[in-house]
Amino acid sequence: MRHTPFKLLAVLTMAAVAASCGSDAESSADIVTNPPTTTTIAATTTTTVPSTVQGRLAQAYPDATVDPSAAAWQALLDDTTLDQTAVSVIEFAGTADDTARASYTAYIDAVREATVAKGGSFAAITDVWRPGLELPIGFDGGMVWAATYPSRDVFIEVVLEPAVVAAAASRRDAVRDPHLFIGVNLVPQFLLDQEAPADVEALPHDLVRGRDTAAVVDELLSIYPAGGSDPTKPMLEAMLARDDARTQAVTYVNLYRFGPDTGGAASINEYNMNAMPFVLAHGARPKVIVNVAQQLLGSQRWDRVILVRWPSIEVFTDLRLTPGYVDAQTSRVESSDAYGNLVTIDRADSK
DSSP codes of every residue in 52-83: SHHHHHHHHS--TTTS--HHHHHHHHH-GGGT
Looking at residue 73, what is its pLDDT?
Answer: 98
The DSSP 8-state label assigned to residue 230 in this structure reads B
Distance CA 220, CA 317 (A): 9
DSSP E strand stretches across the chain: 28-33, 39-44, 87-95, 121-131, 143-149, 175-183, 250-257, 285-291, 294-297, 304-310, 338-346
The three-class DSSP label of residue 183 is strand
- Which helix (H) or strand (E) segment holds residue 265: the answer is helix 264-281
In this prediction the pTM is 0.86
Is there a contact between 344 and 253 (Cβ–Cβ < 8 Å)?
A: yes
Question: Which of 70, 91, 55, 74 minimizes the C-alpha distance to 174?
Answer: 91
Q: Dihedral angle at the C-alpha atoms of 278, 8, 304, 196, nearest 10 degrees?
A: -70
Question: Which residues touch 26 (CB under 8 Å, ≥6 apart)?
Answer: 46
pLDDT for the residue numbered 45: 57
- Report the alpha-carbon distance of residue 16 to residue 7 in Å, rounded: 16
Cα gap 157→111, rounded to integer Å: 11
Give residue 186's identity as a one-letter amino acid code: L
Q: How far is 125 from 251, CA to CA, in rounded Å?
A: 10
Work out the number of other CB atoms within 10 angstroms of the CB of residue 299: 11
Taking 3-state DSSP, the helix, strand and coil percentages for the chain, each rounded to the nearest 5, stand at 40, 25, 35
If residue 325 lies in a helix (H) or strand (E), which one and from where to where?
helix 323-328
Give the residue from 77, 25, 73 showing the smallest Cα distance to 49.
25
The pLDDT profile of the chain, 351 residues, written as one tens digit per residue, is: 444 444 444 445 444 444 444 434 333 333 333 444 444 445 555 678 899 999 999 999 999 999 999 999 999 999 999 999 999 999 999 999 999 999 999 999 999 999 999 999 999 999 999 999 999 999 999 999 999 999 999 999 999 999 999 999 999 999 999 999 999 999 988 889 988 899 999 999 999 999 999 999 999 999 999 999 999 999 999 999 999 999 999 999 999 999 999 999 999 999 989 999 999 999 999 999 999 999 999 999 999 999 999 999 999 999 999 999 999 999 999 999 999 999 999 986 544
Alpha carbons 5 and 317: distance in angstroms, whole number: 20
Reading phi first (left if > 0) and then psi (alpha if -120 to 50, else beta), residue 337 is in alpha
Domains of the chain: 1-18+63-351 (3.30.70.100)
Residues, the chain: 351
Instruction: Return the bridge partners of 175, or none.
Output: 95
pLDDT in the model for residue 46? 67
Identify residue 168 by its one-letter amino acid code. Answer: A
